[in-house]
Amino acid sequence: MGAQRIPAVQAAVQIMKDEGVGIAFGCPGSALLPLYAAMERVGGIGHLSVRHEEGAVHMADGWARTTGKAGVAAVAAGPGAARLITGLHAARQDAVPLVCITGREASGPHGAAGPPRHEAYRPPDLVRLAGAVTKRAERIEDPARIPGAFREAFRIAREGRPGPVLIDVPADLAASEIICGPVPAIGTAGGGPAVATGDRFPESGAVLSPVTPPDGTDSGAGRVPAGWAVAELAEIFGARSAADTYVVSGLPETFPGAATAPHRHRIERRGGPPGWEVPAAIGVRTALDHRGERDAEVVVVIDGRGFPYMAEELAAAARYEVPFVVIMLGGPEVHDPFTDHLKLVEAYGCTGRDVLDPAELRSAVQWARKEAVSTRRPVLVEVRAERAAGACGGPAADPVQEFAHGT
pLDDT digits (tens, 9 = 90+) for 355-406: 999 999 999 999 999 999 999 999 999 998 775 443 334 444 443 344 444 4
Closest CA to 53 of 29, 84, 30, 77: 84
Q: Which residue has the higher pLDDT, 204 or 230?
A: 230
User: Which range has the worst mean pLDDT, 16-20, 236-240, 306-310?
Assistant: 236-240
User: What CATH number was assigned to the domain covering residues 228-393?
Assistant: 3.40.50.970
Mean pLDDT score across all residues of the chain: 82
> Which CATH number is correct for 4-196, 3.40.50.970, 3.40.1000.10, 3.10.20.30, 3.40.140.10?
3.40.50.970
Taking 60 as the threshold, does the pLDDT of residue 222 lie above it? Answer: no
d(CA 205, CA 193): 28
Q: Percent of the chain having pLDDT more than 90?
A: 61
d(CA 344, CA 362): 23
Exposure string over 32-51, b if 16+ CB within 10 A, otherwise e? bbbbbbbbeebeebebbebb
Model's pTM, two decimal places?
0.84
Range list for CATH 3.40.50.970 in the chain: 4-196, 228-393
**Which 3 state secondary structure label does DSSP give 11?**
helix
d(CA 21, CA 31): 21
Give tens-digit pLDDT for 322-366: 999 999 998 666 667 788 999 999 999 999 999 999 999 999 999
Q: Who contacts 354 (Cβ-Cβ below 8 Å, separation ≥6)?
A: 341, 342, 381, 382, 383, 384
Segment 221-229 mean pLDDT: 64
Q: How far apart are the first and last CA of the chain?
A: 57
Asked if residue 237 lies in contact with residue 299, where contact means CB atoms within 8 angstroms, the answer is yes
Give tens-digit pLDDT for 61-108: 999 999 999 999 999 988 889 999 999 999 999 999 999 999 998 765
pLDDT for position 230: 86
